[in-house]
Amino acid sequence: MSDQAYQRVDLHTHSTASDGKLTPTELVNLAHQENVEMLALTDHDTIAGLVEARQVADSVGMKLINGCELSVSWKKIPLHMVALGFNEQCERIAAWTLRNQKVRLERGRQIADLLRKKGLPDLFDKAIEEAGESQLGRPHFAKVMVREGLVKDMNKAFDHYLGNKKLGQIRDVWPQLEDIIPDLAETGCELVLAHPKRYPLTVTKLKAVMKDFKAFGGTSIEIASGNERPDYVRFLERLSREFEFKASVGSDFHGPFGPWTQVGRYTQVHEQEVNPLWYQW
């Protein structure tokens, strides 16, 4: 059997409410077309797409899990945490997403200032226009740079200007794990450490993150995210057992083209060897 296959569960996807390519309606319809039975919409720092997604999911008989991917920080290292299964009217989720949206705007101004220091024109207003109703992020700056002829393509934009190392001077004031996790844990939602192997962390530091994540009230880790290497998935399966985390999975779908995998597609997991988060739904 192939290491990657279409699955019936996808607990990590994005729409145009943040930096995805498809509207919530288009995303749910595509997931239904690909035989996904349980889907979570987890846009970055916003829940704006959930009402629309739920209407479509209900119409096609799909199980939709409320979700949001929140930017957080551990010892000044930026991480992503997926919150799942909360009520759409949850005031605490709304408060943290609003806080992070303000951080994103300030971060956008810092990115624009840094790009100007590197000889580019001021792109802030054009990036805001590009984002529209979505949450401002680096891809919006990249699209503007391509459209303005400043770089050949989005990959070049990230390679030369927008990669994490290139933006090292920018200080992100994302919420600390010890502040956000205990607050959201009281709501009863599931808190998932997203794509743990994508962070520039040694095994020792990754285990330290997981130890703190667990101690603060985190419940799960994402053992498969898109086209993860099979050996990484096996490693994360072992860590989920070691730290007694539930196991989450998802495509981290952003669009049907480019480097992202299709909705419902990710490296296969050994479901019988972990505690699947999705079983509770």
**Short-list 46, 6, 5, CA closest to 24:** 46
pLDDT in tens, 14-52: 999 998 989 999 999 999 999 999 999 999 999 999 999
Can you list the domains of the chain with their CATH numbers?
4-91+175-280 (3.20.20.140), 99-162 (1.10.150.650)
38/71 Cα distance (integer angstroms) = 24
At residue 181, the 3 state secondary structure works out as: helix
2/234 Cα distance (integer angstroms) = 15
The packing angle between helices 230-242 and 203-216, to 10°, is: 40
206/253 Cα distance (integer angstroms) = 24
Give Cβ neighbours of residue 113 (< 8 Å, ≥ 6 apart).
none
This prediction has a pTM of 0.88
The residues that bridge with 246 in the sheet, in sequence order, are: 220
**Short-list 140, 240, 129, CA closest to 193:** 240
- At residue 2 the predicted structure's pLDDT band, cuts being 50, 70 and 90, is very low
**Residue 169 scores a pLDDT above 70:** no
pLDDT value of residue 168: 67
Amino acid at 207: K
Identify the weakest region by mean pLDDT among 129-133, 134-138, 185-189. Answer: 134-138
pLDDT in tens, 239-263: 999 999 999 999 999 998 766 689 9
Per-residue DSSP letter, 277: G
Average pLDDT, the chain: 92
Q: Is the dihedral of CA 22, 53, 140, 75 positive or negative?
A: negative
Share in percent of the chain as helix, strand, coil (round to 5): 45, 20, 40
pLDDT value of residue 201: 94
pLDDT value of residue 7: 80
Compute the residue count for the chain: 281
At residue 99, the 3 state secondary structure works out as: helix
Q: Are 54 and 25 in contact (CB under 8 A)?
A: no
**Residue 3 scores a pLDDT above 70:** no
- How far CA 52 is from CA of 58, 66, 85, 204, 240, in Å, comes to 10, 12, 17, 42, 33
**Residue 65 scores a pLDDT above 50:** yes
Per-residue DSSP letter, 158: I
pLDDT in tens, 192-210: 999 999 998 999 999 999 9
The residues that bridge with 248 in the sheet, in sequence order, are: 222
